Amino acid sequence: MKAFTDLYTAIDQTTKTTAKTKALAAYFDTAPDTDKLWTIALFSSRRPKRTITTTKLRVWAAERAGIPLWLFEESYPIVGDLAETIALTLPPNSRTHNASLTAWIETLRALDHADEDTRKATVLDAWDQMGAAERLVFNKLLTGGFRVGISRKLMTRALAQATGQDEAALAHRLMGDWTPETTTYHALIEAQDAAASLSRPYPFCLAYGLEQAPEALGEPSEWRAEWKWDGIRGQLILRGGEHFVWSRGEDLMTDRFPELARARDFLPDGTVIDGEIVAWDGAAPLPFNDLQKRIGRKTVPKKLLKDAPVILLAYDLLEEDGEDLRARPFADRRARLDTLLGTLPGTAPVHSSPLIPFKTWGNLAESRARARDNRAEGLMIKSAAGPYHAGRKKGDWWKWKLDPLTIDAVMIYAQQGHGRRANLFTDFTFAVRHGNDLVPFTKAYSGLTDAEFRQITAWVRKNTLQRFGPVRQVRPEHVFEIAFEGIHASPRHKSGVALRFPRMKRWRHDKPLDEANTLDDLNAILAQYG
């Protein structure tokens, strides 16, 4: 595991993308195939099955370090990462080892059926053979999650460099439901026929936010526009008489949205559609809040199926009659999609997401202003001639979102962040005024600069009124402008509302407490946009 640990450390020790890619490519050049396969898996969120609970790991680590468990637990939020907390707390190792990454993963997998004493002995024994850096990597294998500033795109690029393959083709090969247990490095990367599994999705084409006026895009006739829906991006695959639904995060969601099974009754085999899964009231999407109830549920109770039925709002056709259409221009793909869907009845679970006609950018701006009335969060603008790219590529797809809603609120609670933000107060609760009271209505974690977070952290330390575990009640003094994408009624919240994507837009140094917005203001926004 030395080579893999060195790779991890090298990546961790630089902020430069080129250096990271170089380190990865060098690793792919020299590592054995089994280790390469696991490395690809780990850097594409395919972690080995957890065989030991994190609760046990905490207990064993504290015991080995000779500290009470509570002290370990207090240290964890400050470090911000469990694997790291364990690595830092354990006493120095007394031995070393030469086992490979794959060998250690095999050892851990064998623990799946072992009794607790064996598990504990194996883990303590492993810790005692590893230095701090290696322990961190090992603990990451135990706890899952390998976020080290290596995006999947970067990993794919390095693999492309090391193997001489085309990056986009490689990205496609790496999609889908393979695991190191079900394939080999050769079959996954090198074999001529990638043995395309029926369920394998295409890499999603991703858009950039439009940061300037659309006039900069040039001639309007060269572009197409659609609503930008607030749902779940999904890819519907109909192949071999089966259907599969993938999320953008490559979760297989087929069983979560059983309504989409009926797509097989309406569409031919060999079809792959890109679109947005939305809860549907028969004529328009329901607010995201309704869809949210269905996220995270593997099986859906009948009532929910009735209250929040989903459909796929289709906006792209990636495969037709088994043919990959991605290289064709968007206008062509879109015309085929409309032909395919045009004859379907309204009861079909797949609808076409309409194109929004426009002659001038001014026309389009008027449409954008009506996005909220159409239950959309803005517009997508796509180049008529553009292919369907693998991943995020600037130039052909743009999202032109509405400006967020905003409200000025008072900070009342603060909590320290995790990971990169450990040691700073970054998680805040905000309130609106109601008579002489302050009513909490949202939390927010992002939007301030590092310098502002440091400034507010110093202030929180000096202005804590009361502590509730890790949460500090602070003097109500600072007003922040909170931006959010949507609002809906929520009986679970004290204020009666829940916000979508709340964040701190601005620290309103200029506003005294009594100029913060009120609960009435908040309810007015709810009445208008909820």
Partner 1 sequence: MVLEFKPQGIYCPAGDFFIDPWHPVDRALITHGHADHAREGHNRYLATDIAAPVMRHRLGDITLDTVAYGEVREIGGARVSLHPAGHIPGSAQVRVEVGGEVWVVSGDYKTTPDRLCTPFEPVRCHSFITECTFGLPVFTWPSEADTAAEINAWWTANAAAGTYSLLGAYSLGRAQRLLSLLDPAVAPILTHGAVEATNAILRGQGIALPDTIHVTPELDPRAHPGALILAPPGALAGNWARRFRPASTGFASGWMRLRGVRRRRALDRGFVMSDHADWSGLNEAIKDTGAENIYPTHGYTDIFARWLNEEGYNAKPVPTEFTGETFEEDGA
Residues of the shown chain interacting with partner 1 in the complex, contacts defined by CB under 8 A: 12-16, 65, 67-68, 70-72, 74-75, 78-81, 84-85, 88-89, 136, 149, 418-424, 450, 454, 462
CB 522, min distance to partner 1, A: 33
Q: Which is nearer to partner 1, 77 or 258 (CB)?
A: 77
User: Max alpha carbon distance in the chain (Å)?
Assistant: 74
> Strands, DSSP E only, in 328-436?
350-352, 376-383, 391-392, 397-401, 405-416, 425-434
CB 389, min distance to partner 1, A: 29
Tokens of 5: 């640990």
Cα gap 407→313, rounded to integer Å: 32
3-state secondary structure of 122: helix
CB 65, min distance to partner 1, A: 6
* Contact (CB, 8 A) for 459 and 475: no
Q: Which is nearer to partner 1, 87 or 291 (CB)?
A: 87
Cα gap 264→219, rounded to integer Å: 39
CB 212, min distance to partner 1, A: 27
CB 451, min distance to partner 1, A: 10
Q: Which is nearer to partner 1, 60 or 246 (CB)?
A: 60
CB 207, min distance to partner 1, A: 26
Q: Which is nearer to partner 1, 271 or 426 (CB)?
A: 426
CB 151, min distance to partner 1, A: 15
DSSP alpha helix (H) spans, 444-485: 450-462
C-alpha 295, offset from chain centre = 13
Other C-beta atoms lying within 10 Å of the C-beta of residue 343: 8
Q: Which is nearer to partner 1, 306 or 462 (CB)?
A: 462
Tokens of 174: 């790496």
Helical axes 132-143 vs 82-89, angle rounded to 10°: 140
Q: Which is nearer to partner 1, 218 or 419 (CB)?
A: 419
Q: Which is nearer to partner 1, 301 or 419 (CB)?
A: 419
* Opening angle at CA 76, ends 73 and 79, nearest 5: 160
Per the document, the length of the chain is 530
C-alpha 140, offset from chain centre = 19
Q: Which is nearer to partner 1, 5 or 495 (CB)?
A: 5
* Contact (CB, 8 A) for 427 and 417: yes
CB 416, min distance to partner 1, A: 11
